Amino acid sequence: MMRNLHPENNDPDKLGEFLDSSNRAWRQACVTFFGCIDRATFGGKYREQIYCACLPGCCYEELLNIFQHFRDGLILSTKQYKEIPAGLFRFFVGCRDEPRVHRLLGRFSTGVITMEQFRSASKELKENQQKDEDLKAENKRLRDENEQLKKENERLKRQKRHQDVFEYAEDLEQTEPTVRKTYQRKVTAEVEVHLEEAHKKRRIQKEKEERYIELIDEIIREVTETTEVTEAIEEDNEVVENIQEVTNEVTFSKGEKITAFWEDKNISGWYPAVVLRVNKNSYYVRYFDGVKSSLKPKDIKKTAN
C-alpha cells in the first residue's frame, strides 16, 4: 500500500530505479493513511518498510513473490512461518546496488536459498556495502591528502628557490674580491654581447625600413610622372581639337546673305537670311520674313549659288 501512495510508482522512467524515499508528500500520505503511525518516528521505526516500498520495479516484483510464497507456505526454512518475520529485510536498508539486491531476492523467491541463507547473504551484502563505502571514503581522504601534499610541495619549492637566491647573494658578498670582480666582468661581457646582437638586429631592421621607404617614394615618383605626362597629352589633344574646330569653322561678314536654321513648335528647316551683326561666338541674323535671331556658327551656312 505504501508503494501505491508514492507519486513515482507509475512513472515508466523510474521502473529500474529506486523511488525517492525522502519525498515529504509521500511520507505525509503514509502517516495519514495508517493513522496510528507516529509522525516523528516514522522514518526510523518503519525504515525497513520504507526501503521495501521504494525498491526498483524488478526488485519489488520479487518481493511480492516472496510475500505470496510466505502465504502459500513455500518458503524454505528450518522453521515454519505463517507470515514474514520482522527484520527479514533490515540488512537491505540503505543498499542502492540494484543488481545484487535483485539477484538475492530472486534466489530467495525461487527457493534456491533458504531463509537462513537469505539472512546471512543479506547481512554479508550490507557488510560489503559498508566496506565499499569505507573504501570510497578512505580513497577520497587519500586524494584530498595528496592534493594537500602537492600544494605543500609547491610551497616548499618556492621557498627553496627564494632561499637559494638569498644564500647565493650572501655567498657572493663573502667571496674574495678578485673572484667577485672576475665574475662581474664575465657577466658584463655576456651582457655586452647580447646588447651588440640586439643593436645589430636593430640596424638591419632599420636598413630594411629605409630601403622600403625609398622603394615607396620611387614608386610614387613614377606614378606622379606618368600622371603628369598623361595630363599633358590630354591637354595637347584638347588644344588640337579646338584648333581643328576653329579651323573648320566658316566665317561670315555683316550684310552677307546666308542660309540659317530655324526651329519652333510648328516648323523647322533652313531658310534665307542676312547677317546683321557679327558677335564673338554668334551671328545676329534676319530671316526673309523679318524675324531676327542670334545663331551659333553651326546653324549658319553659305547660300548655294
Q: What is the mean pLDDT of residues 59-86?
A: 80
Is the pLDDT higher at 169 or at 105? 105
Instruction: Specify the pLDDT at position 285.
Output: 93
Q: What is the mean pLDDT of residues 253-272?
A: 89
User: Does the pLDDT at position 161 exceed 80?
Assistant: no
For residue 174, being part of any structural domain is answered with no
Final residue in a domain of this structure, among 134, 152, 186: 134
Instruction: Specify the pLDDT at position 99.
Output: 87
Q: What is the mean pLDDT of residues 60-76?
A: 83
Structural domain span for residue 96 = 2-134
Closest-CA residue to 250 (of 212, 211, 278): 278
280 grid coordinates? 564673338
Instruction: Specify the pLDDT at position 160.
Output: 80
Residues in Cβ contact with 66 at an 8 Å cutoff, skipping those fewer than 6 apart: 75, 84, 105, 108, 109
- The CATH number covering residue 261 comes to 2.30.30.140
20-57 confidence digits (pLDDT tens): 888 888 888 888 877 756 666 666 777 888 888 888 88
For residue 157, being part of any structural domain is answered with no
Q: What is the mean pLDDT of residues 66-70?
A: 83
Q: What is the mean pLDDT of residues 162-171?
A: 65
Q: What is the mean pLDDT of residues 271-286?
A: 91
For residue 86, being part of any structural domain is answered with yes
Final residue in a domain of this structure, among 134, 169, 186: 134
For residue 37, being part of any structural domain is answered with yes
Radius of gyration in angstroms for the set of CA atoms belonging to the chain, rounded to a whole number: 58
Counting the structural domains of the chain, the total is 2
246-260 confidence digits (pLDDT tens): 444 568 888 999 999
User: Does the pLDDT at position 289 exceed 60?
Assistant: yes
For residue 52, being part of any structural domain is answered with yes
Residue 33 · residue 5 · CB < 8 Å: yes
Mean pLDDT (the chain, rounded)? 80
Q: What is the mean pLDDT of residues 111-124?
A: 86
Instruction: Specify the pLDDT at position 247.
Output: 43
Q: How many residues does the chain have?
A: 305
For residue 211, being part of any structural domain is answered with no
Name the pTM for this structure: 0.42
Instruction: Specify the pLDDT at position 180.
Output: 54
Final residue in a domain of this structure, among 103, 118, 134: 134
CA 242, CA 250: separation in Å to the nearest integer?
14
Q: What is the mean pLDDT of residues 229-257?
A: 66
For residue 51, being part of any structural domain is answered with yes
Instruction: Specify the pLDDT at position 261.
Output: 93
Q: Where are the alpha helices (DSSP H) in the chain?
A: 2-5, 24-34, 42-45, 47-53, 57-72, 98-109, 115-174, 177-248
For residue 246, being part of any structural domain is answered with no
CA 37 to chain centre: 56
Q: What is the mean pLDDT of residues 204-228?
A: 82
Strand order in the sheet with 300-302: 292-295, 283-287, 268-278, 257-263, 300-302
